[in-house]
Amino acid sequence: MLTLEPVYVLLGAFLLFAAVADLRAKRVANAAFWALVAVPFLFGKAILTASTAGVQWPAQAMGVGVLALGALAARAKRSASVPARDEAERAARAGNRLFLPALLIPLVTVAIVLACQYLPGLMAPLLDLKQATLIALGLACVIAFAAALRVTGAAPASGLHEGHRVLDALGWAAILPMLLATLGSVFAATGVGDAIAAIVEAVIPVDSRLACLVAFALGLVLFTAIMGNAFAAFPVMMAGVGLPLLVHRHGAHPAILGAIGMLTGYCGTLLTPMAANFNIVPAVLLELPDPYGVIRAQWPTALALLVVNFGLLWWLA
């Protein structure tokens, strides 16, 4: 049965490959950065097992490693965003077929997740149903990689080197979603949600469903804009407003509230430079003259989506 562990090991192996490639190119800071990021993917299970058994130093060492990542990020150098000439020629020959590997990722992921939901007896012997979504995403990425090699006619090593090039072009922003998601968990565990609940209850009439929903939606957008990612804002706002006020007090549907609420939070992602991997890095990769050009193009869409999502929350949740 396939578990999530091989997916993490595969990610760690790729990051280790990137570290070795940077070391051979004498980009020491880059090499150290990716090597540190690879450690939790390769040895995360062992670190968790040690912590559960009362051995704390591996987890503490990872905390030091996170601080080291901040120092290394300032010294790491981004590589050129332009692919090698032969890779660019392969891409040009492939034409619109290049979209196929990218589309395979969501299609295969959704197909596997739906199969796990509606055919659990068939899928249970094949993969861990508790981690079906992440396992499906990992499988989809492997299938998409194979499809990309088929479409372009490139060798697997070429795909790895191009992946490393893109990773170095993104730099520290590549791991920003993971760190922000962790930050959201930390905020939720330290009682930030309770503090938000106390503030909201002191400011708005909590007996009003409309007022609570407005606070929830706008709070998600605001916290997402501050933190740079809805993964960090969502647990805080759900703990502070979503669960105690909307679900428990006003009887909102928790699944619908969570699904559309997360999408509402991403309206804030479109508005903030803190979401560097979405809004700043693309401007750098595309060499746009305006570093905030992506945000300027997105803000009308963000506001329109916010209005639509709020309407869906009021109508469905």
Span 91-135, pLDDT tens digits: 666 667 778 888 999 999 999 999 998 888 888 898 888 888 889
DSSP structural state of residue 289: S
| Element spanning 149, H or E | helix 132-152
Tokens of 179: 């760190």
Distance between CA atoms of residues 243 and 316, nearest Å? 16
- Residue 172: CB atoms within 10 A of its CB come to 19
Q: Looking up tokens 């795909």, which residue turns up?
A: 159
Average pLDDT rounded to a whole number, residues 281-300: 81
Average of pLDDT values for 265-294? 80
Q: Calculate the alpha carbon distances from 97 to 33, 217, 299 in Å.
A: 34, 39, 31
- The string of DSSP letters for 231-243 reads HHHHHHHIIIIII
Q: What count of Cα atoms within 13 Å lies in the side-chain half-sphere of residue 315? A: 6
pLDDT category, 79, cuts 50, 70, 90?
A: low
Res. 81: pLDDT tops 60: no
- pLDDT in the model for residue 99: 83
The mean pLDDT value for 218-247 works out to: 85
pLDDT of residue 191: 73
Dist CA 259 CA 228 (whole Å): 19
pLDDT at 73: 79
Residue 75 in this model has a pLDDT that exceeds 80: no
Higher-confidence residue: 70 or 146?
Answer: 146
Q: What is the pLDDT of residue 269?
A: 87
Question: What span, in angstroms and rounded, lies between the C-alpha atoms of 41 and 35?
Answer: 10
Cα 242 to Cα 52, 216, 219, 259, 307: the distances in Å are: 31, 7, 10, 12, 18
What gap in Å lies between CA 121 and CA 128, rounded to an integer? 12
| pLDDT tens-digit series, residues 168-177 | 877 777 787 7
At 87 the pLDDT is: 57
Can you give the pLDDT at residue 111?
93
Give mean pLDDT, residues 285-314.
87
Closest listed residue to residue 134, CA positions, set 121, 118, 116, 149: 116
**Whether the predicted pLDDT of 49 surpasses 80:** yes
For the chain, domain boundaries:
5-75, 85-154, 175-316
Q: How many residues does the chain have?
A: 317
DSSP H or E segment with residue 255: helix 254-269
Q: Is the per-residue pLDDT at 303 higher than 90?
A: yes
- What digits encode the pLDDT tens for the residues 131-160? 888 899 999 999 999 998 888 887 888 888
- Report the distance separating Cα 214 and Cα 225, nearest Å: 16
Structure tokens that stand for 42 in this block: 């390769």
User: Cα(271)–Cα(228) distance, rounded to whole angstroms?
Assistant: 9
- On the question of pLDDT at 90 being above 70, the answer is no
Contact 256, 207 (CB under 8 A): no
The pLDDT of 186-197, averaged and rounded, is 74
Residue 2 has φ and ψ, to the nearest 5°, of -80, 130
Mean pLDDT of the chain: 84
Question: Which residue has 């679900």 as its token pair?
Answer: 247
Task: Supply the pLDDT for residue 200.
Answer: 78
Average of per-residue pLDDT across 74-85: 62
Mapped to the 3 state alphabet, what secondary structure does 21-82 carry?
Answer: HHHHCCCHHHHHHHHHHHHHHHHHHHHHHHHHCCCCHHHHHHHHHHHHHHHHHHHCCCCCCC
The pLDDT value given to residue 137: 92
